[in-house]
Structure 1
Amino acid sequence: MSTLLNVAQQGLDEIIAIRRDIHAHPELGFEETRTAAVIAEKLRSWGVEVTEGIATTGVVGTVRGRRAGARSIGLRADMDALSIGESNALAHASKVPGRMHACGHDGHTAMLLGAARALAENPDFEGTVHLIFQPAEEALGGAPAMLQEQLFERFPCDRIFGMHSYPALPVGSFGTRPKEMMAASGRFRVVFKGSGGHGGEGPHRSNDLSVVAAHFILGLQSIVSRNLAPTESAVVSVGHLGAGDAKALSVMPAELTIAGTMRAFNPQTQTLLETRIRAHAETYAQSEGATAEVTCWWLCVPLFNTPDATLTAVSAATDVVGPQAVQDDLPRITAGDDFAYMLHQRPGAYMLIGNGRHDGDGGGNVHSPHYDFNDKVLPYGIAYWLSLVNQELGGRLGRA
């Protein structure tokens, strides 16, 4: 066990209790008032300088090193939960129907709090650490909202670092990659409109939107395979299909909605996906005498790690768990994170921390009703943050 892990283990019971309390009281994006209050109260109790109310519910804690230094870094954790009903039979399961921490943000918050306490107790580094607790990462634009409120002007950061739970990696391991790491995440919605009609007596007098929908969905499958080079990557998936009334099965609907998600790793592919989705929708609608209203929008941009900051992140993780447990060239991931917007304004790196995966309560992947952040991960995440401070600000944390 590294000396930083020994430091991270100190007071760990309190950090676990905070994590489970946040898990039991999940709040959606820009509604994290209780979570933000818990964070601010804990930071102040440890002597950390606190600023609240950034982008509604965001919190920034600032720890200044006892040794002189002009550099400053930002460490970011997200706070919001998801609109998912929890299926876990755990003592700390969500107490809010239809809401749960299914993506590990409760753990992210707890790990950064653990690092904040350790830094406040022993600020043996040069410069300043800004602890950024971000609201509304889940598709609501929390990072852009903080940036619009002059986050980096108010809290200067030479580099910015983020971290996320990753069930595909075992506990005690880390993974990242230089340059492009995560995809832009977008959404599309198509509303087809026709005359509607009697599906039994007069289908020939109606625009059959089910035929339009069938052709459109099949056509979507060719966008990536026949418009991108085989070496490129993108995703188009349907997530919603709605029309008609289950109690009126003889009625052909006059309106049909298809919606879904898009993923891409560069702006050119983003534009291509939008263009082809629109063309498919309009073409298939016209073939049946119907119309199509197409809306496409993007929730976050592609996430690009700065190469030299990535080397620092890998070195920090290696100091905690050794080189054998750190992947420095992880395959690209088609998930998205709006931390990408922060990386567009400041150099930095995004790290995945192994959470492990098992079946049943507390297992599975993120965005699952059975997912629960693994408390065994907490000391590794805390130690990683402290190691980054050592790397970036000449810290002596955990060193004799």
Structure 2
Amino acid sequence: MTQDVIAAVQAWQPELAAIRQDIHAHPEMGMEEHRTAALVAARLRDWGVEVAEGVGRLGVVGTIRGTRPGQRVIGLRADMDALQIPEATGVPYASTNPGVMHACGHDGHTTMLLGAAKYLAENRDFAGTVHLIFQPAEEGRGGARAMLADGLFERFPCDAVYGLHNKPTLAAGQFATRKGPALAATDSFAVTFRGTGGHGGSTPHLATDITIVQAHFVLALQTIVGRNVPAVEAAVLSVGSIQGGSPVSPNVMPAELVVTGTSRSYAPKVRDLLERRIGELATGLAAAHGCTAEVAYRRGVPALVNHAEQTDLAVAAAARLVGEAAVDAQFPPVTGGEDFALMLEARPGAFMFIGGGKGPDGTSPNLHTPHFDFNDAIIPMGVAYWVSVVDQELGLQRPVGGS
């Protein structure tokens, strides 16, 4: 062919948009993506792609082998799950699953990788093998971990692995990434304070007051970032809930109170420090007031760390499509998390953001909001990015940029 990949994929835009909107209309929570996984597998088979289902329960892996000699193997990964958020977009293809919607664009991620599968299946003159990894349960339900535990990279060996995520704050036609830590480790904590409880009106002096303890604790949490974390490092500590007592019994001092929150960090030593200091503050403040504290610190996914060589390759792949000026290779770290980090711990690779741009109504609501809808107009650019990565890695003999 003589035209570029974007132009070629534009001809498939109605088909790909229909796939994306169908997935959007039928969102499924993590480890419940039965319909989505079946759709992915069926499409891959329709296009002549080798398919393995049930990897990590609901993961799908498609394999496309190049026709030219080459032993290198790469993985391209997309996520399939939705979020527990009621949809308020008002689009004709809005969620038919009450309380669940594709508020993070995983419907678009899946579609872009499917488009790349279709293109690569028809244009196999590259040297090596591409594994297309469709992952369930990115949103906190352990999808990457499950696929890795099921032998993902032993069954489908990869020399490098790449991820792609839409970002509404970037204009369509822009890409962004960075070497090193790019997304944060996402942990949570729950502290249960216990005291005697008591009558807050007549005999508060006879009680051990855990409300005072939690008040000091919530304020003291911010001293961890301000005074324990080195100034050149980054960390976030936020309280998400405080639960204790009863609003219909305002004169009763509670005997138990729970504080929960989240912590974000990039460096392992900072992550360890946050866990240690949260425990020390909770138990120390409780003891000072004659109370006790039970601390549970749950480690989520680690920080996502892009590898230097693969980040350079991903930047080059994007620049071939949109020019160097439209690719930010020093994008500031994001304090959100991504379980693709676990795959990058197992194999070298890179994670790229693609600009989401504005939708047909001229707006670009942010991720994880009831009004978010993936912009179908960027599907060809996402497909072309994946093809460009394959070109950089395996020498696809097709023009992937402009003519």
More deviation in 366-375 or 156-165? 366-375
Q: Determine the structure 1 residue equivalent to 2:288.
A: 287
Number of equivalent positions? 399
Cα distance in 2 for residues equivalent to 1:202 and 1:42? 70
Cα distance in 2 for residues equivalent to 1:124 and 1:311? 23
Cα distance in 2 for residues equivalent to 1:362 and 1:80? 24
Cα distance in 2 for residues equivalent to 1:152 and 1:189? 34
Q: Determine the structure 1 residue equivalent to 2:190.
A: 189
Alignment of 1:19-98 (within 5 A): 19-98=20-99
Per-residue deviation, 1:237: 0.7
Q: Determine the structure 1 residue equivalent to 2:9.
A: 8
Normalised to the residue count of structure 1, the TM-score between the two structures is: 0.96
Per-residue deviation, 1:179: 1.6
Q: Determine the structure 2 residue equivalent to 1:152.
A: 153
Question: Counterpart of 1:398 in 2: which secondary structure?
Answer: coil
Q: Determine the structure 2 residue equivalent to 1:384.
A: 385
Cα distance in 1 for residues equivalent to 2:340 and 2:206? 52
Alignment of 1:1-400 (within 5 A): 3-356=4-357, 363-398=364-399
1:336-380 CA-partner distances (Å, limit 9, x unpaired)? 111111111111110011113689997321111111111122111
Unaligned runs of 5+ in 2: none
Unaligned runs of 5+ in 1: none
Per-residue deviation, 1:320: 1.1
Normalised to the residue count of structure 2, the TM-score between the two structures is: 0.96
Question: Counterpart of 2:300 in 1: which secondary structure?
Answer: strand
Per-residue deviation, 1:244: 1.7
Cα distance in 1 for residues equivalent to 2:362 and 2:214? 38
Cα distance in 1 for residues equivalent to 2:87 and 2:206? 47
Q: What is the letter of the counterpart of residue 152 of structure 2?
A: L
CA RMSD of aligned residues (A): 1.7
1:121-141 CA-partner distances (Å, limit 9, x unpaired)? 221211111000011111122
Is the 1:4–1:320 Cα contact (8 Å) retained in structure 2? no
Cα distance in 2 for residues equivalent to 1:329 and 1:296? 32
Cα distance in 2 for residues equivalent to 1:253 and 1:97? 36
1:197-230 CA-partner distances (Å, limit 9, x unpaired)? 2222222222222211111110011111101221
Measured at CA, do residues 261 and 319 of structure 1 come closer, stay the same or move farther in structure 2, by a change above 3 Å? Answer: same
Question: Counterpart of 1:300 in 2: which secondary structure?
Answer: coil
Is the 1:263–1:334 Cα contact (8 Å) retained in structure 2? yes
Cα distance in 2 for residues equivalent to 1:361 and 1:87? 16
